[in-house]
Amino acid sequence: MKMSEGVEWALHSCVNLAWSGPDRAVSAARLAAWHDLPAAYLNKQLQALARAGIVTSAPGPRGGFKLARPLAAVSLMDVVAAVEGPEEAFRCAEIRQQGPGAGAPAADAADCAIAHAMARAELAWRKALAAQNLDEIRQQAERQAPGAPARLRAWLAAP
């Protein structure tokens, strides 16, 4: 079980967009170059964020991506769901209803105990993700590297 690389890229990109300022759109190529990532693939992840309503996109020169709403209104869960998709990690295949061990019809209606337990654990994960928003991430990152926002803005201003 491995999470997509795109999640980390998308999260960093959101923080970078916040640092770049709310007025200026940044292209996928520029965001990718900042961390030496494949530009076209990062673009794919940003498209997912745009579909989820986390960022807005504009084509043409001076186009690019902007945050659709303040970082405080974007949770980790939003980004993970946008990039990874809404499906749960554990999908019950209902193997208990296959082969000679197929249960009685009465048991079929009830939820599989295993699926229920796994879903409960996954819900805890989702709640923990939803409880943290990107603004908290940004604040912590700024405490660790106070000069990062200024450096990014200076680099973006240079051609």
Q: Please give the residue ranges that form the binding site for a copy of itself (CB under 8 A).
A: 1-5, 7-9, 11-12, 15-16, 33-37, 76, 84, 87, 89-93, 95-96, 98-101, 103-104, 106-107, 110, 113-114, 116-118, 120-125, 127-129, 132, 136-137, 140-141, 144-145, 147-148, 151-152, 155
Q: How far is CA 125 from the centre of its chain?
A: 14
The type of residue at 113 is: A
The residue (of 38 and 103) whose beta carbon lies closer to DNA is 38
Min separation Cβ 57 and a copy of itself, Å: 22
- The alpha-carbon radius of gyration of the chain (Å, integer) is 20
Q: Which residues bind DNA (CB under 7 A)?
A: 1-2, 4-6, 27-30, 38, 40-41, 43-44, 46-47, 50, 57-65
35 binds, among a copy of itself, DNA, none (CB under 5 to 8 A by kind): a copy of itself
The residue (of 60 and 106) whose beta carbon lies closer to a copy of itself is 106
For residue 130, report the phi and psi dihedrals to the nearest 5 degrees: -70, -20
The residue (of 23 and 113) whose beta carbon lies closer to a copy of itself is 113
Residues 129 and 79: their CA atoms lie apart, in Å, by: 10
Min separation Cβ 59 and DNA, Å: 4
Report the first-to-last Cα separation within the chain, whole angstroms.
Answer: 41
- Which of 159, 137, 144 is CA-nearest to residue 10? 137
Q: CA neighbours within 13 Å on the CB side: how many for 78?
A: 20
